[in-house]
Amino acid sequence: MAEIDEQEQLKARLEYLKTEHGDLDRAIEALVDSGNYNTLQLQRLKKRKLVLKDQIFATKNSLLPDIIA
């Protein structure tokens, strides 16, 4: 049972991370389109987006079953 709960938690985390990544992507696009931003602000947002991408990748890997070759 604990494994199922863990899988569900990972799935929920993955969905949260994907949503946050998408929101951040739209925020970056809107900021660039506005033309009213400073470079440091944009770099921080892009770095956060990369961190989220890494977390999404790691979470997806956690959901895959270990395959013994």
Tens of pLDDT, residue by residue over 9-48, are 999 999 999 999 999 999 999 999 999 889 999 999 999 9
Q: Is the pLDDT of residue 66 over 90?
A: no
Domains of the chain, by residue range, sit at: 2-63
Average pLDDT on 51-63 reads 96
Burial class (CB in 10 A: 0-12, 13-18, 19+), 47: exposed
Predicted model pTM: 0.83
From the CA atom positions of the chain, what is the Rg in Å? 16
